[in-house]
Amino acid sequence: MPRYIRPPSALPRDVEMAIESFGTMFSRAILRHLSLHGPTGAADLARELGTDSNTARRALRALEEAGLVTADAPAGQRRGRVVTFAIQPERLESLLAALKDYLLGH
């Protein structure tokens, strides 16, 4: 099966990342949970938000790539460990500001 290749976007990179990161209810729920409750592991997030650990890990990986969350262990050293994720409020503010400016035409 051919891989989907995303066409180049005319959107600024931070605007595109904001849309991708805030575009699902689950990603928004993760960000809100981490904001309210502090650093949390993927399994605990999954249990709290009513999903499975794999779904939580995939969403956390995308949020980590956007710089919205950080993990207490590097990506290559997580196997067999409980990894805790924390929100990056400065990056959250930055992406929200970029999206707001774009939508307001600034």
What would the pLDDT profile of 9-29 be if each residue is shown by its tens digit?
789 999 999 999 999 999 999
pLDDT recorded at residue 10: 86
Residue 64 predicted with pLDDT over 70: yes
pLDDT recorded at residue 66: 95
Band (78; pLDDT cuts 50, 70, 90)? confident
How far is the C-alpha of 30 from the C-alpha of 95, rounded, in Å? 16
Cα dihedral 30, 34, 39, 44 in deg (nearest 10): -40
pLDDT, the chain, mean: 90
Considering just the CA atoms, what is the radius of gyration of the chain in Å? 15
pLDDT recorded at residue 15: 94
Band (2; pLDDT cuts 50, 70, 90)? low
pLDDT recorded at residue 49: 94
How many Å separate Cα 10 from the centre of its chain? Answer: 22
How far is the C-alpha of 57 from the C-alpha of 19, rounded, in Å? 19
Whether 58 contacts 42, CB under 8 Å: no
What would the pLDDT profile of 35-48 be if each residue is shown by its tens digit?
999 999 999 999 99
pLDDT recorded at residue 25: 92
Q: How far apart are the first and last CA of the chain?
A: 41
